[in-house]
Amino acid sequence: VVNDVLRIGGENIAPGETKKIELEMPPLYTATNMSIPVYVKRGKKPGPIMFVSAAIHGDELNGIEIVGRLIRSKAIERIRGTLIAVPMVNVYGVLNQSRYLPDRRDLNRSFPGSKKGSLAGRLANLFFKEVVSKCDVGIDLHTGAIHR
């Protein structure tokens, strides 16, 4: 955080601001464009930066609702520091009701990823650079899924 302005996906978020950012995902092989919804709430007072994410595995849906409730909670209006809430990281998997990405890789096993390479590697790199690396602490929600 430079000059107390947090930058995610090319967007600046100052203390006291709340912003929804559409983090552009690596395109599919079909050139389909998609984005990861990222909600940022910065308190007016300084404090730690924390992320809460869900659906790294696209078939683990409970966390999506939990993060949604967190985003809508009145309690976050009083936070110190910053909350970055990501209800679904693996948007591809959620839409396809699949644990994995379209390249059949497990996103959770692809971190920190790389700018080049597999779809999983590029998505892991994007999420790591734009969210995880900017945080002091993170909570990644997982749950049971079908056949697990």
Contact 52, 131 (CB under 8 A): no
pLDDT tens figures, 18-47: 999 999 998 887 888 899 999 999 999 999
Residue 61 near residue 31 (C-beta atoms within 8 A): no
Average of per-residue pLDDT values in the chain: 94
Q: What percent of the chain has pLDDT over 90?
A: 87
pLDDT in tens, 101-132: 999 999 999 999 999 989 999 999 999 999 99
In order of their start, the domains of the chain are 6-140 (3.40.630.10)
Q: Supply 94's token pair.
A: 């959620």
pLDDT at 146 over 80: no
Q: What are phi and psi of 44, to 5 degrees?
A: -75, -25
Residue 2 has pLDDT above 50, yes or no: no
pLDDT value of position 86:
99
Q: How far is CA 49 from the centre of its chain?
A: 14
Rounded to whole angstroms, how far apart are CA atoms 76 and 80? Answer: 9
Q: What are the tokens at 11? A: 């967007």
